[in-house]
């Protein structure tokens, strides 16, 4: 009897190693996969050597990201083959957007892979893993059932072990079809989670001790979830409901499209202190010609006008963005307009990328592809401009008192680390018993990408 229960213990105590690439939605998904597997006897591990299941959660947004998957799969295959004879069975699975877009190709190019499944199948993972034990499995359908309704919630202690801040996916997919982007193809049409489901998940996070949530969606401000009365509500209205949840102190959302910054969402920024004054609003280019070719469906002037309206509602709003350089047809003049856009907006931070041709998107078919060397040159110039603004923004914070969410122990003893409303890391000499609180912190200095502060009790100021 004793021997039997020992044996069942060994079979139940399986380990999963997940490596996550790409955006925050993948980070969220990896946690939900961990939760789905937890109910089936898998616990997470950081050590591939002890894993029964290795999952890569992949990103397809740029060519480099997609290619990384194949080289990583080669490494994992070699690792598996070079283990001691008699080592336990290790399954290899590929999830995420590369799986969705190139499932068959992965099966053909990487024979070591046992399991390929797309983002809409995560709730079926335990069943897929059981099948993969017997045969190679591919599942990249868009099923009828609501994945989120079938994904189990994490246990309270698991939530809190993940930290005081959490992601919450409220929307998936995109209907915008920007001409450079694979997302409408890999993640499909826009789908919003019902309001009650989102509120319940946010409540559970707050109950477990989470202080800040970031609502996620490929196009999050296009959210249009159905409420209990059968009405569709937008992201603005959702934020008012979330702001009522006790314990939850901060709300953020990402990533947004300028055309979906509607009046209700802007009003929420005016009314809700919990909605953080830091907005990621990608523009991609400052040139009207390129914006048109990108099918962004707004001009540079319209983008600036939206920012003006947001700043009227919330004067301390800081912005971040995404840019692409070297889109087909981009001239020096177009690129100069992009630099000009950075100067006008004065971003607190921004991401910039060289255009990457994605098969199946309209951009891939366009003439006038820009040479790699020109892209590289423009990227360097753009990043220098962005860095200058980021540095100026951080420097402007020195001397201010900002509310800081004290999140975790710092690198050195006696130090704790937190985040400002603008997502800047802040290092503070203070006792770790304060972790979990939001306290006014006077910013006394800055490093390259972070701030240094001391806790004060005086009034909090905004930038």
Annotated binding site for [4Fe-4S] cluster: 23, 59, 97, 174, 178, 181
Does residue 358 interact with ligand 5AD by CB under 6 A?
A: yes
For residue 370, give the DSSP letter: P
Q: Which is nearer to ligand 5AD, 207 or 260 (CB)?
A: 260
- Round to whole Å and give the CA distance between 112 and 59: 20
Q: Are 145 and 122 in contact (CB under 8 A)?
A: no
Among residues 159, 284, 338, 349, which is the contact residue for ligand 5AD, using CB under 6 A? 284
Residues 6+ away with beta carbon under 8 Å from 12: 41
Token duo for residue 282: 């990608």
> Among the candidate windows 13-21, 105-113, 131-139, 351-359, which touches ligand 5AD by CB under 6 A?
351-359
- Round to whole Å and give the CA distance between 68 and 237: 40
Token duo for residue 171: 């929307």
x-or-dash string of contact with ligand 5AD, 159-198, rule CB under 6 A: ---------------------xx-----------------
> Among the candidate windows 37-45, 69-77, 219-227, 352-360, which touches ligand 5AD by CB under 6 A?
352-360
CA dihedral 295, 296, 297, 298 (to 10 degrees): -140
Among residues 101, 125, 181, 261, which is the contact residue for ligand SF4, using CB under 6 A? 181
- Round to whole Å and give the CA distance between 26 and 139: 18
> Among the candidate windows 26-34, 334-342, 348-356, 395-403, which touches ligand 5AD by CB under 6 A?
348-356
Q: Rounded to the nearest 5 degrees, what angle is found at the Cα of 394, between the Cα atoms of 214 and 449?
A: 70
Task: Pick one of ligand 5AD, ligand SF4, none as the site partner of residue 300 (Cβ within 5 to 8 A by kind).
Answer: none
Q: Which is nearer to ligand SF4, 60 or 274 (CB)?
A: 60
> Among the candidate windows 40-48, 170-178, 205-213, 453-461, which touches ligand SF4 by CB under 6 A?
170-178
Does residue 292 interact with ligand SF4 by CB under 6 A?
A: no
First to last CA, the chain: 67
User: Residue 171, Cβ neighbours under 10 Å: how many?
Assistant: 25
Task: Pick one of ligand 5AD, ligand SF4, none as the site partner of residue 219 (Cβ within 5 to 8 A by kind).
Answer: ligand SF4
Beta bridge partners of 19: 56
Burial class (CB in 10 A: 0-12, 13-18, 19+), 9: exposed
Task: Pick one of ligand 5AD, ligand SF4, none as the site partner of residue 225 (Cβ within 5 to 8 A by kind).
Answer: none
> Among the candidate windows 86-94, 172-180, 263-271, 395-403, which touches ligand SF4 by CB under 6 A?
172-180
Among residues 96, 282, 328, 410, which is the contact residue for ligand 5AD, using CB under 6 A? 282
> Among the candidate windows 173-181, 350-358, 404-412, 425-433, which touches ligand SF4 by CB under 6 A?
173-181
Quickly tell me which residue has 């937190």 as its tokens. 418
Does residue 257 interact with ligand SF4 by CB under 6 A?
A: yes
- Round to whole Å and give the CA distance between 392 and 413: 30
x-or-dash string of contact with ligand SF4, 202-221, rule CB under 6 A: ----------------xx--
Q: Which is nearer to ligand SF4, 284 or 420 (CB)?
A: 284
x-or-dash string of contact with ligand SF4, 40-69, rule CB under 6 A: ------------------------------
Q: In the complex, which residue's CB is closest to ligand 5AD?
A: 322
Does residue 98 interact with ligand 5AD by CB under 6 A?
A: no
Distance of CA 82 to the CA centre of its chain: 34
Does residue 347 interact with ligand 5AD by CB under 6 A?
A: no
Q: Write out the binding residues.
A: 23, 59, 97, 174, 178, 181
Q: Where are the beta strands (DSSP E) in 123-237?
A: 137-139, 165-169, 171-172, 191-192, 212-216, 224-226, 232-234
**Of 96-135, which residues contact ligand SF4 (CB under 6 A)?**
none
- Taking Cα atoms as reference points, which of 80, 134, 82, 69 lies closest to residue 112? 80
Quickly tell me which residue has 């890999």 as its tokens. 186
- Round to whole Å and give the CA distance between 278 and 319: 6
Residue 325: CB minimum distance to ligand 5AD, A? 9
Q: Are 261 and 247 in contact (CB under 8 A)?
A: no
Quickly tell me which residue has 């110039």 as its tokens. 381
| Sheet architecture: strand order including 250-254 | 165-169, 212-216, 250-254
Among residues 23, 59, 73, 183, which is the contact residue for ligand SF4, using CB under 6 A? 183
Does residue 254 interact with ligand SF4 by CB under 6 A?
A: no
- Round to whole Å and give the CA distance between 39 and 300: 49
Q: Where are the beta strands (DSSP E) in 174-211?
A: 191-192
Does residue 322 interact with ligand 5AD by CB under 6 A?
A: yes
Burial class (CB in 10 A: 0-12, 13-18, 19+), 16: buried
Q: Which is nearer to ligand 5AD, 254 or 401 (CB)?
A: 254
Residue 417: CB minimum distance to ligand SF4, A? 31
Residues lying near ligand SF4 in the complex (CB under 6 A) are found at: 174, 176-178, 181, 183-184, 218-219, 257
Q: Which residues bind ligand 5AD (CB under 6 A)?
A: 61-62, 180-181, 282, 284, 322, 324, 353, 355-356, 358
């Amino acid at each position: 009897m004793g021997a039997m229960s020992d044996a069942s213990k060994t079979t139940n105590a399986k380990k999963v190693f997940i490596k996550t690439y790409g955006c925050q939605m993948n980070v969220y998904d990896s946690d939900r996969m961990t939760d789905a597997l937890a109910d089936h006897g898998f616990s997470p591990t950081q050590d591939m050597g002890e894993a029964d299941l290795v999952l890569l959660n992949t990103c397809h947004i740029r060519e480099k990201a997609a290619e990384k998957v194949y080289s990583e799969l080669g490494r994992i295959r070699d690792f598996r083959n070079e283990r001691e004879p008699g080592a336990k069975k290790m399954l290899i699975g590929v999830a995420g957007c590369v799986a969705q877009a190139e499932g068959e190709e992965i099966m053909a190019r990487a024979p070591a892979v046992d399991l390929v499944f797309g983002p809409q199948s995560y709730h079926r993972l335990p069943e897929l893993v059981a099948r993969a034990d017997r045969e190679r499995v591919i599942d990249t359908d868009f099923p009828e059932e609501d994945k989120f309704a079938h994904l189990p919630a994490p246990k309270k202690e698991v939530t809190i072990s993940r930290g005081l801040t959490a992601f919450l996916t409220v929307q998936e997919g995109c209907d915008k079809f920007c001409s450079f982007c694979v997302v409408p193809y890999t993640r499909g049409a826009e789908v919003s989670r019902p309001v009650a489901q989102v509120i319940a998940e946010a409540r559970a996070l707050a109950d477990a001790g989470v202080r800040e949530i970031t609502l996620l969606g490929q196009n999050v401000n296009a959210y249009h979830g159905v409420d209990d009365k059968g009405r569709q509500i937008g992201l603005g209205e959702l934020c008012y409901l979330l702001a009522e949840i006790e314990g939850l102190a901060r709300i953020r959302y990402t990533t947004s499209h300028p055309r979906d910054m509607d009046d209700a969402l802007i009003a929420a920024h005016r009314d809700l202190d919990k909605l953080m004054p830091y907005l990621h609003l990608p523009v991609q280019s400052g040139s009207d010609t390129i914006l048109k070719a990108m099918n962004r469906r707004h001009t540079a002037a319209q983008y600036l006008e939206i920012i003006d309206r947001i700043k009227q509602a919330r004067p301390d709003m800081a912005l971040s963005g995404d840019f692409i350089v070297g889109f087909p047809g981009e001239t020096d003049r177009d690129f100069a307009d992009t630099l000009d856009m950075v100067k006008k907006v004065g971003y607190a931070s921004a991401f910039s990328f060289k255009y990457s041709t994605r098969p199946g998107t309209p951009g891939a078919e366009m003439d006038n592809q820009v040479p790699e060397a020109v892209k590289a040159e423009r990227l360097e110039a753009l990043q220098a401009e962005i860095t200058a603004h980021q540095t100026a923004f951080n420097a402007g914070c020195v001397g201010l008192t900002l509310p800081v969410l004290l999140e975790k122990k710092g690198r050195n003893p006696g130090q704790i680390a937190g985040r400002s409303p603008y997502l800047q890391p802040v290092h503070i000499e203070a006792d770790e018993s304060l972790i979990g609180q939001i306290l006014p912190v006077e910013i006394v200095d800055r490093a390259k990408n972070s701030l240094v502060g001391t806790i004060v009790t005086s009034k909090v100021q905004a930038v």
